Structure 1
Amino acid sequence: MTTEAAAPAEPEHRLHPMSWLFVLVAQLKQFIVPLIALFLFGRRDEGGLWPLIGVGVLAIGSLWQYFTYRYAVAEDALVVRSGLLERSLRVIPFSRIHNVAVEQSLLHRVFGVAEVRLESAGGSKPEATMRVLTLADALELETLVRRRGRAGPASTRAPGPAMPVADDGVAPDRATHAAVTTAPEPLLRMGAIDLLRLGVVSNRGMILVGAGVAAFSQTGGRLWSNLFERLGGSWEAWYGSNDLPLWQWLAGGLALLAAALVVVRLLSLLLAVLQYYGFVLSRDGRRLTVERGLLTRWRTSASRRRIQAWTLTEGLLQRWLKQRTLEVDTAASQQEGQARTLHELAPIAPREDCDRLIEELLPQARWHALDWQSVPMRGWWRRMLSTLPWIVLVTVALSVRFGAWGLLALAWLPWAAVQAHAEARRAGWTLGEELVAVREGWWQRYWRFAEVDKLQALRLTRSPLDRHFDTATLWLDTAGAGARSPQLCIRYLPHASADAVYRRLSSELARRPLRW
């Protein structure tokens, strides 16, 4: 929100004096690999000075941002000024700020500073990024947003040594300070055993595997060729060999698969420790805060009313360990990624702890008393239609390479049928006064639910198969849904039932105001 009606109630504040260094580091991240390659492998002539000139230009730009960036607190908004030749003025109402993220990397910790991002609902980028503030000012700004996130009069005290501000927007005096400032209430903590479980059940190690494959692909195959030549043969000769019997191919493939699974689990454990060490979910009034991370500490918070949808997940390994994952979608910027927004309320936790969190944060939904309704089984086979093209492609590829043995891939069809039948048997939905929920999956189970007031749009779709079997699919859209979030939809309902649910929800949404 940009406007010229800015009347800060306090003098403007600058960023931390070392903020230019962090701006420079952030700008250099996208150029660091080419610069290192140019310094190490480039020619030693006058052209080698160009990278230094580029770094100098970035450094000047970082200093320019420090000297021209200002922020101050107005009556009910945060005022941010930047630029000198091309001036920018942003007035950000506290009621518009949906998520506050505080980041502390190792470099931040050395200087005792933090980076703060203020995000709004559905924005393509944060409303403001303050790189960087002292840690005390960053936490005070987070407190200021938390206390004055609701519309109403606000005090005129700025972050820093300012007095805390109460929920009603009135700055208390020192005598009543203890009465309005309460300690956050911890809702969930993760210990070492939880991190071990998370590393075992998650596939986060594939992120590092993918990054490694991408890095090695830039070598043009020379690294791999040299490696196999040292082992006694060239890569091309080993790959082109057709003399090995099938059982050796299968044994080698199983051994490589087992080794890959072990490596992925170890990498997943490493990432779990780095990302979720010291995980704490706490509640301060209506605001939820998550703090986590080993090397880089993340602290992100959002108001409870900003949560748009919920996802409860239970994989096969999680079922064996009696664990689940609870995630939420918030109405905040999605461009920065889910790592910087309030997304995971419980990366992994016992089933009863996840149910307890839902009951505490959604008491009006009556999670344990929901009346689940099943989906008719007659269209169970439609759930396996999406896998048929992949089975055909794999079968053709293997048949070209191994001849008739490649037809063994068709053995996946019975398993796909069993899985589709099990998914259809478990699928269900429920619609209460305050909550709409669906449950799907069998191997990987999930529950997806949202408050009726948070629904953004309804869609009733019918494919040719739906018209033939007199069924329909009802899609329920909410704000803030990520690309990896399951769909909130009721599949393959009888058309009459789907239409009745559609009309009921349409009537409810028309009667109730939309809540963000």
Structure 2
Amino acid sequence: MKLHPMSVPYRSLSRSLSTGSLFFFVGIIASPGGAGGNLLVIGAMVVVGIVLGIAYEYAYYKRFRYEITPDTFDVASGVVSRRDREVPVRRIQNVDVRQNVLQRALGIAAVHVETAGGGETEITLQYVDEAEANRLQRQLRNGSSSRSRSRVTAGDRETTDDLESGDTRPGEDELLFEIRRNELAVLSVFTIDPGASALATIALSFASGFDPTTLVPIDLLEADLPGTGLIALAWAVLIFLFAAWVLSAVLTFSRYYGFRLTRVGDELHYERGLLQRYSGTIPLEKVQTLTIEESIPFRWFGYGALAVETAGYAPGQSGSRGTESAIPLAERGRVRRLARSIEPFEREDLERAPLRARERYAFRYIGVLCLIMGVGYLLATYTEVVEDWHAFAALLFVVPVAAHLKWANRGFQFGNRYFFARTGFWRRTTKIVPYYRVQSVVYQQTLFQRRRRLASITADTASSAAFFGRAATAYDIDVTRALQVQQGLNERLQERLLERKRRRQLDRWFDGDDVGSGVSVDDDQKSHTDGLDIDGLDDGETTNGGHGSRKESPTEPEPPDEHEHEHERKDEPNETRDRPSSEDDRDRPSSEDDRDRTDGRDSSNSQ
């Protein structure tokens, strides 16, 4: 299939502007005298750049093809160099659809397909029809989720469809959350967008004519009073913070306007955005960590936010995935209920760090304050920017309060099925990690922690949030307790893996036993071998009522009756074909495709 025809003029617009600007500067340099005197040369270069941009986009449109097969998503692209990609459907983590204002007017959308692996979007379709984008999102989503249910046999399909005819019926959305107007207002007012500071700097630069002193009242600049320099600096910082806050509120309102969260089968589907519309999926079976965020204003009003971390990269966040808001803002009870619907975790009862950790925080803050006072002293000695450098000493009274708040808002819990880790005062985050999602357990101890016999334990998962230091970490706990938690996490991880392995083994076992009589012998043989788990047999696990595998222990066969053997060969050809005549034939796989399935049953011969 091909891209939408409107993608050619839309992409050509941005491409021609960039190439036209490049050829414009080249024309100025290449004109006689290098001063841009020959306007004809400059205009010709700009036209050439625009034509080349349009030609490239048209060639890109003609060479781009995509196709969805039962197992892969194939894309062929490239103008200068040809590139063919095959992405397995089972590896697809998220399929996001993005639209800005102009794209919505043209009826086109960009589709971003992301997998569990690389640090960037695997496949980007720019641009397809809006209906086609929704179809791709739905088909890839259903294809990825149906892989885990592909073992359902033909005899069980009717029963399975009847059981799933409720809320999990394909195509039937269950509304879980929709943001209200008051929640959107609170979210916009009390959320600080990181990109707002850069926009505020640019806006204030243009407003002041690139002279920051014009934003400060003239009375503060001309007055000869003590501390006027600090007052002027504080005034400039206040103006900057106000501009950043206004821009942050506007960006947040535009980003989360019309936020809706629905459940479709085993996935969460979200839609949000005012100017630029985002829609994507959060696969529940690939959730790595749940994060409950509560900043200070949100805690005042009893609100919280829920973020879901998957193994991919976050849609709508500059191409980096890891965390996506399942609930941007809601009452604390609603947040907890939705989080428990994703992972049924128990009530958290966190352990705090020892009191010597609070002393460590106090000494750390005192050291930072001494460094600030030292810098202020140097500025007051050699410059006129700061005069009363010793005024920073008043912050010493804040150090004990800050150390206590940092200590009080940190904790962890080593639960039965989940690991909890909390940190942060201004923005308190509580991470909930299932044990079967833990990839590694990291024991950390710095030089300063060794002096106070403290350590930190990190439960690392496959989420990309761990790459940026946002993994679930129990900070500054006792060394003995840290070693216990490290050992316990490893043990619980193995227990949960064995439990999930037994569950999958039972599922495959019953799927194999329920095969009807109309299924061929080869399929029946494969279905019985599907229920055997090689690792489970190696670990001492048994099936079939504790008697090992289905194949009985070899015994000395009796001499068969020749006439009876001929009668069986005539009447039951299929049965004699599956019954090996010797022990060597019994252990030999019937085909290359069944070799991996039958290897796990060879160990039963030695029992």
Q: TM-score, normalised by structure 1?
A: 0.80
Conserved? CA contact 1:94–1:150, under 8 Å: no
Per the alignment, residue 20 of structure 1 pairs with 8
Conserved? CA contact 2:199–2:244, under 8 Å: no
Tell me the distance in 1 between the aligned counterparts of 2:476 and 2:217.
Answer: 58
Per the alignment, residue 95 of structure 1 pairs with 90
Tell me the distance in 1 between the aligned counterparts of 2:320 and 2:475.
Answer: 32
Distance 1:411 1:153, change over 3 A: closer
Tell me the distance in 2 between the aligned counterparts of 1:216 and 1:481.
Answer: 35
Partner amino acid for 1:456?
Q
Conserved? CA contact 2:27–2:41, under 8 Å: no
Q: How many residues align?
A: 473
Per the alignment, residue 348 of structure 1 pairs with 329
Tell me the distance in 2 between the aligned counterparts of 1:57 and 1:416.
Answer: 62
Conserved? CA contact 1:448–1:486, under 8 Å: no
Distance 1:25 1:349, change over 3 A: farther
3-state secondary structure, aligned to 1:149: helix
Tell me the distance in 1 between the aligned counterparts of 2:453 and 2:17.
Answer: 55
> 1:315-343: CA deviations, max 9, x gaps?
22112222112212221136973677561
Partner amino acid for 1:181?
P
Tell me the distance in 2 between the aligned counterparts of 1:36 and 1:108.
Answer: 28
3-state secondary structure, aligned to 2:349: coil
Per the alignment, residue 339 of structure 2 pairs with 358
Tell me the distance in 2 between the aligned counterparts of 1:428 and 1:451.
Answer: 17
1:473 equivalent in alignment to 2:456: yes
Partner amino acid for 2:52?
V
Conserved? CA contact 1:199–1:266, under 8 Å: no
Per the alignment, residue 115 of structure 1 pairs with 110
Per the alignment, residue 454 of structure 1 pairs with 437
Give, in angstroms, the shift of residue 314 of structure 1: 1.4
Distance 1:134 1:472, change over 3 A: same
Per the alignment, residue 421 of structure 2 pairs with 438
Partner amino acid for 1:373?
E
Per the alignment, residue 508 of structure 1 pairs with 492
Higher RCO, 1 vs 2 (CA within 8 Å, ≥6 residues apart): 1
Per the alignment, residue 176 of structure 2 pairs with 187
3-state secondary structure, aligned to 2:144: coil
Tell me the distance in 2 between the aligned counterparts of 1:325 and 1:488.
Answer: 17
Per the alignment, residue 209 of structure 2 pairs with 223
Per the alignment, residue 315 of structure 1 pairs with 295
Distance 1:352 1:484, change over 3 A: farther
Tell me the distance in 1 between the aligned counterparts of 2:320 and 2:257.
Answer: 16
Give, in angstroms, the shift of residue 197 of structure 1: 0.6
> 1:328-373: CA deviations, max 9, x gaps?
222113697367756111222111121111111112x12xx23322
Give, in angstroms, the shift of residue 375 of structure 1: 1.6
> 1:292-319: CA deviations, max 9, x gaps?
1111111011211222222212122112
Partner amino acid for 1:358?
A
> 1:193-222: CA deviations, max 9, x gaps?
222111211112x623413425776x8x99
Tell me the distance in 1 between the aligned counterparts of 2:13 and 2:311.
Answer: 29
C-alpha RMSD of matched pairs (Å): 3.8
Selected match of 1:409 from 365, 368, 392: 392
Distance 1:226 1:31, change over 3 A: farther
Give, in angstroms, the shift of residue 26 of structure 1: 5.4
Give, in angstroms, the shift of residue 226 of structure 1: 10
Tell me the distance in 2 between the aligned counterparts of 1:268 and 1:513.
Answer: 44
3-state secondary structure, aligned to 1:223: coil
Conserved? CA contact 2:440–2:459, under 8 Å: yes
3-state secondary structure, aligned to 1:473: strand
Conserved? CA contact 1:122–1:480, under 8 Å: no
Tell me the distance in 1 between the aligned counterparts of 2:73 and 2:211.
Answer: 58
Give, in angstroms, the shift of residue 97 of structure 1: 0.5
Per the alignment, residue 245 of structure 2 pairs with 265
Selected match of 1:210 from 198, 203, 213: 198
Conserved? CA contact 1:116–1:132, under 8 Å: yes
Per the alignment, residue 348 of structure 2 pairs with 370
Unaligned runs of 5+ in 1: 1-12, 156-167
91-100 or 413-422, larger mean C-alpha shift: 413-422
Conserved? CA contact 2:20–2:49, under 8 Å: no
Tell me the distance in 2 between the aligned counterparts of 1:106 and 1:59.
Answer: 22
Per the alignment, residue 69 of structure 2 pairs with 74
3-state secondary structure, aligned to 2:439: strand
Per the alignment, residue 526 of structure 2 pairs with none
Tell me the distance in 1 between the aligned counterparts of 2:469 and 2:186.
Answer: 22
Give, in angstroms, the shift of residue 374 of structure 1: 2.0
Give, in angstroms, the shift of residue 152 of structure 1: 4.0
Distance 1:91 1:451, change over 3 A: same
Selected match of 1:56 from 51, 63, 79: 51
Distance 1:126 1:257, change over 3 A: closer
1:148 equivalent in alignment to 2:128: no
Distance 1:374 1:390, change over 3 A: closer
Structure with greater proportional helix content = 2
Give, in angstroms, the shift of residue 90 of structure 1: 1.4
Tell me the distance in 2 between the aligned counterparts of 1:223 and 1:374.
Answer: 52
> 1:7-51: CA deviations, max 9, x gaps?
xxxxxx1111122234335546877987899999x9445235434
1:424 equivalent in alignment to 2:424: no
Distance 1:477 1:51, change over 3 A: farther
Tell me the distance in 2 between the aligned counterparts of 1:51 and 1:463.
Answer: 59
Selected match of 1:395 from 373, 376, 381: 373
Give, in angstroms, the shift of residue 503 of structure 1: 1.2
Unaligned runs of 5+ in 2: 29-34, 151-156, 501-607
Q: TM-score, normalised by structure 2?
A: 0.69
Partner amino acid for 1:479?
A
1:383 equivalent in alignment to 2:361: yes
406-415 or 477-486, larger mean C-alpha shift: 477-486
Distance 1:152 1:331, change over 3 A: closer
Tell me the distance in 2 between the aligned counterparts of 1:384 and 1:33.
Answer: 55
3-state secondary structure, aligned to 2:429: strand
Selected match of 2:259 from 254, 273, 279: 279
Partner amino acid for 1:375?
A
Percent of pairs identical after alignment? Answer: 23
Conserved? CA contact 1:101–1:299, under 8 Å: yes
Conserved? CA contact 1:195–1:269, under 8 Å: no
Tell me the distance in 1 between the aligned counterparts of 2:40 and 2:117.
Answer: 49
Give, in angstroms, the shift of residue 67 of structure 1: 0.5
3-state secondary structure, aligned to 1:299: strand
